[in-house]
Structure formats: structure tokens, C-alpha cells
Chain A
Amino acid sequence: MTTTELWCDRCGEPATATAHPACASARQLEPPRFCPHCRRRMKVQVLPVGWSAVCVEHGEIRG
């Protein structure tokens, strides 16, 4: 986690180094839902292989 990642990308609550073990575990089988930089809900498209998530402010990430 970098210092610019202020929010948990699964639940959208403030991110701290160890506060979200359940989210981290769930994220192995889920794409992110919240932008870690600004907490906006992202537009997420899951594909058979991979996913993409778009924040209107911070752009697209893929996994």
C-alpha cells in the first residue's frame, strides 16, 4: 500500500496498514469497487479473464 492509497478499495473505508484483513481476503475473488485515492465508486467491468475499473478522476486500472 502506498501513501496515496487512502481508502480501502473494497469497502471504501479509510485504509490503514492492517485494518482490513477481511477485505484483503475477499479481494482475492473480487475486483476493487472504490478508488483507493478518492473513495469514488468505480465503474467496474468483470470479464471472463480479468477486470477493469474506472475512476472518473484517477483513470482506469486493470487486473
Chain B
Amino acid sequence: MPEILDQARTQVLGDGVGLDQAGVLAVLNLPDEHLPAALQLAHDVRMRWCGPEVEVEGIVSLKTGGCPEDCHFCSQSGLFTSPVRSVWLDIPSLVEAAKQTAATGATEFCIVAAVRGPDARLMKQMREGVAAIKAAVDIQVAASLGMLSKEQVDDLVDMGVHRYNHNLETCRSYFPNVVTTHSWEERWETLRMVRDSGMEVCCGGILGLGETVEQRAEFAAQLAELNPHEVPLNFLNPRPGTPLGDRPVVEGKDALRAIAAFRLAMPRTILRYAGGREITLGDLGTRDGLLGGINAVIVGNYLTTLGRPATADLELLDELKMPVKALSATL
């Protein structure tokens, strides 16, 4: 057994204390033959510190495309030649999407908008949309609307939004290579305000943007410092027309190493499969990740791309004897 896994067994599994940056890096650098042991340990950590439940979430795009920012992975930036056009979702369709999500057994419904931050029109749409969902569907509402002012944070709390997603996307040292229209620190500031408001913080990122393994470890350590309630883990799905459109997808084994390493850095967080798992891991890898530290999934489609049918994930969870977290357990 490699030394780092022995150390993690005592420190993370035994004491619930996450690995630091050097420890995460050692896990990310483990040779293939030790990957199964790393995944098993990450799974044990997840079972001990989070339990067997899996949190299921659906997401929907309230405002798609036409974003003024230049995140190089994103097909919704208006600054690239991506074929994604700007479109708004009306409130009846938003409520319908929440109903479809709840019908899968999901407890979380996240409303997302492709914006730098919300304007008055978007906040009004959110207020009406969240109220309409709460009147019609039993589901917790989360939001992802970019960078917020303090007033907007307070407004979202007032609407009953219980969790806010704002991804740091990548580590601080690599961020300027991926985004030039705003800074990592600006994102951090929104996250700080969200946490101070009492909303749950959801913050993750995307692997495969061209960051080094060292920078992946740096990112895990920075997330651990933030200590989010949830960490969504995406793998780059290279989008036509974006600056990262020709990048290779992350190797399945590297994705699994990252899942184990992020779990060992953050033993108690909700570690969610988000976008890109279908192309990076496929069906077999999806299962390996759920047995290697992941304890939450996005079911159904994403914002501009499609996922596998919710039933495929739910059948897999059933087979793995992992109960879907119930709404009563989250309130």
C-alpha cells in the first residue's frame, strides 16, 4: 500500500481530516495499479463521513447563451463563434422542468443563467419563478446566476433559494489562462457573501482545461479551504467554437484519480458528478466513480448538452444499493 493511502486511512477515514495539497498531489500521481485501492478508500471515507445516500439534482437553464464573459470552455459566451443562441425560458416551462425533475426523486432543482451577474430583469424572473415552483412542486431550489451583490444575495435568501452555485472552475494560478473578463478573487468574494448569508455554498469546477496535475491538487486544496457544502465536478466536454474546443477529453483513469483525491481532500462534502462524465467515463467509469467517492449526481440533461436518461442513473444507484436522499432528510 503506498504511504499516502496509509496516511489517508488514518487521517481522513479515521479522523475526518482531509488531505492537504501535497497529499492530494500524491494521490493524483498514484500509478494505475494503486487506483482501485485509492477509490476503495475514498468510497470508505464517503460512507463513513457522508453515508450511503446519494443526492439527486436536476438543472435547467433559465437564460441561455449571450454571456459577456469569456470563460474559454463555455459555449454560452457571446464572445466566441459557438452556435449556441441566446434564449430565455418562460415561467410555466420552468415549473414544468421542476416537476419533471421532482418526478425522478430528485430533491434539488438548480436554476442557472448565463450571465456575469443578474440584472433587474433576471432577479424579477427568479422571484416569480421560484415562487411558482414552490407553489407547485416539493423540491429545494438552488440557483447559479454568476457574481452577486450583497443585495442580490439577500434577495435570493428572501426568495427561499437554499443553495447557491458559483464555481471557481479551476485553481487560482491557472484561472487567468481560462478567464480574462473577471478574476478568481471576484468569484471568491461572491462565495464569501453567499456563505455569510446562510445559504449553502456549492462550488466546484472543471478538470481538463489544460491545468497541470499540480494545479489540480492546488484546486482541491483551495476548495477544501472554502469548505463548500457541495462540490460539482465537471470534466471538459470540448465545445465547438470555444478556445478549448480542440482539447482532448480527460482520460478515464485520471478522472477517477481526481474523484478519489477530491474526496480525500474533502471527506464531508457532497461530491457531485456534473457535466462531461458521459464522454470521459462512460457507463463503467460512472459506476467506478460512485464507488470511489462520488455521492451526488445531476440527472437528465445539462444546460446546453444532454445527459443520459435519469432512469439509467437511478437503476445504477438501485443496483449499488445507494438510496436516493429523501426530501425529509434535507430539510
Contact = CB atoms under 8 A, between A and B. Distances in A.
Interface of A: 10-12, 28-31, 33-34, 41-51
Interface residues on B, range: 20 to 34
B64 A45 contact: yes
B83 A33 contact: yes
7 contacts: A41-B85, A43-B86, A44-B84, A44-B304, A46-B302, A47-B96, A48-B301
B60 A47 contact: yes
A25 to B, nearest CB: 10
A48 B59 contact: yes
Instruction: Please name the 4 residue pairs, one residue from A and one from B, whose CB atoms are nearest each other, closest first.
Output: A33-B83, A48-B300, A48-B58, A43-B87
A4 to B, nearest CB: 21
A49 B299 CA distance: 9
B306 A41 contact: no
A12 to B, nearest CB: 7
A41 B84 CA distance: 8
Interface in B281-331: 299-307, 310
Given A11-B240, A30-B306, A47 B301 contact: yes
Contacts of A11: 240
A49 B84 contact: no
Interface in B74-96: 83-87, 89, 93, 96
A5 B86 CA distance: 24
A48 B94 CA distance: 10
B306 A31 contact: yes
Contact of B101 (A29, A44, A48): A48
B69 to A, nearest CB: 20
Given A29-B278, A33-B83, A34-B83, A47 B306 contact: no
A52 B84 CA distance: 13
Nearest to A12: B83
B100 A33 contact: no
Nearest to B86: A43
Contacts of B93: 45, 47
Contacts of B299: 48
B47 interface: no
B279 interface: yes
A56 B89 CA distance: 17
B85 A51 contact: no
Interface string B127-170: 00000000000000000000000000000000000000000000
Contact of B89 (A29, A31, A41, A45): A45
Nearest to A32: B83
A38 B126 CA distance: 35
B242 interface: no
B97 interface: yes
A14 B84 CA distance: 19
A46 B303 contact: yes
A46 B75 CA distance: 13
B21 interface: no
B305 A29 contact: yes
Chain B CB within 10 Å, residue with most, of A10, A31, A49 = A49
Given A43-B87, A49-B300, A49-B310, 17 more contacts: A10-B240, A11-B240, A12-B83, A28-B306, A29-B279, A31-B305, A43-B86, A44-B85, A44-B87, A45-B64, A45-B93, A46-B64, A46-B303, A46-B304, A47-B301, A49-B97, A49-B100
